[in-house]
Structure 1
């Protein structure tokens, strides 16, 4: 009887620390991300309000098979405008590593017919794709690992850029980019990038 009791107790003791570790890595990862953000605040971002509730975070797995590790994408508000707001993101994993998340963001020139905006778009030319930290009016879908941005050019929202990125191989890759450069009250973007990375 004593030996059976020792064996059963051992199983319980082994199970509890595993559960605790599972919960603790999330709390630790979130705390590390908050500390990192406060110490490395981007120039245009507002100071974090420590009295607020914890920032939004999304769990995901980074890497494949045996090299996989659990991580959090943590969102921090940056700028708030009349009809747009921006956020920056950090990746904080169970190993204690925190890194900035950057997004490829096309820069482009719009050529209007006859040089007049009211005459319609002639061509849109992408001339570079730098990596930026801020996402405008962001929305993240954990199920598809997709970050979306809709950058309005004015409050009406009829002129804008729309971008989507998917997280793969430890980074966000652009899958969709469209530009609606006509201030005509209509939703009629020109799609410049559309691809599936899976």
Structure 2
């Protein structure tokens, strides 16, 4: 086989290798964009506390399933008064009248997943400054940073200079884009461990409260909360609350033998990527463990309202904890509850346990 032919055969693999699947969350002026490990990206204008928010989302690959929506009012504000959006939007102080033929139209919600409708709408607004409501000038969507956010999405998904790009469109065919990276798989945990007996629970709680060396704990032993759960038939998970704030409790976690003499090993959670805050080690904040599924959850609030922060889900594989999901909202603006924070890491469900 000639060198030239070999080079041609390698081209598809080189192209696939250029997929940028490193999770990220960045802000460009008044827009925030988040892309996860499989190239799914979502962007929205910030802050959302003015009540009017536009969200644009897209999956990697040919089956991109785009979505563009405009919402007035959030889960925190509840229903807000005012006339329907479709008749009361301004674009730089002039009436904005998009063709809503392929849109879902509700009084305070407009949405479309129609690719041409999205292209047409973006062509209307990309060079403008702001969208606002006729009856509430404070409810506005700044468009500064939108182009940069969409260009980053195009770049992450390998669309730049192709016909599917939203910003730097070129002649490359619609189908000529890198495929979506594969979802990481989670190992099968197997059968759940035997429940802790009353004697095991009592002994572990006593050990965690009085005899476990936790020098880094700032809480007095009398104020510490100790939780135990079965990890395997021979080991247990022991979590000790060590620091407490207004709305966050930080635990230390240990893998401990279920019977005396107790042997403890500290458990640490390390992300397989660098998150926006730059720290790959995850503290066990407001942690909760479900022994029936082997899943460990953390939920770090950026403030008491719970509209920003980070949330993780980990799966115990019999030896260690593997990251299953990571979500983060860096902007504290009373727009998202934790259920809707953008994801930076997702995984496919583990296979069902064999009978």
Alignment partner, residue 228 of structure 2: 57
Superposition deviation, residue 165 in structure 1: 0.9
CA distance in 1, matches of 2:257, 2:349: 23
CA contact (8 A) 1:30 1:92 kept: no
Shift of 1:40: 3.3
> Is the Cα–Cα contact under 8 Å of residues 71 and 92 in structure 1 kept in the other structure?
yes
Query: Partner residue of 1:75?
Result: 239
> Cα 1:23–1:179, aligned 2, differ >3 Å: closer, same or farther?
closer
Instruction: Quote how far apart the aligned CAs of 1:30 are.
Output: 4.4
Going from structure 1 to structure 2, the CA distance change for 1:166 and 1:27 (only over 3 Å counts) comes to same
Matches within 5 A, 1:26-175: 26-37=201-212, 39-42=213-216, 44-49=217-222, 55-61=226-232, 69-94=233-258, 96-105=262-271, 107-109=274-276, 129-130=280-281, 132=282, 134-175=283-324
SS at 1:49 equivalent: helix
User: More displaced, 91-100 or 171-180?
Assistant: 91-100
Equivalent residue, structure 1, for 2:60: none
**More displaced 10-residue stretch of structure 1: 159-168 or 183-192:** 183-192
Q: Higher relative contact order at CA 8 Å, sep ≥6: structure 1 or structure 2?
A: 2
1:161 to partner: Cα distance: 0.8
TM-score, normalising length: structure 2: 0.37
Q: Normalising to structure 1: TM-score of the pair? A: 0.62
Q: Is the CA contact (8 Å cut-off) linking 2:231 and 2:318 kept in structure 1? A: no
Q: Across the two proteins, how many residue pairs are aligned to each other?
A: 148
- Normalized per residue, which structure has more helix? 1
Query: Who wins on radius of gyration, i.e. which is larger?
Result: 2
SS of residue paired to 1:195: coil
- Root-mean-square deviation over aligned CA pairs: 2.8
1:41 CA displacement: 2.1
Ranges in structure 1 where 5+ consecutive residues have no aligned partner: 1-21, 62-68, 111-126
Structure 1 or 2: larger strand share?
1
Contact 2:210–2:221 (8 Å) recurs in 1: no
Q: Distance in 1 between the 2:304 and 2:201 partners?
A: 38
Deviations 1:28-86 (A, max 9, x none): 4444444553x3322x5313118x8x82211231xxxxxxx422211211111112111
Aligned partners of 1:180, 1:94: CA distance in 2, in Å? 38
Give the 3-state SS of the residue equivalent to 2:221 in structure 1. Answer: coil
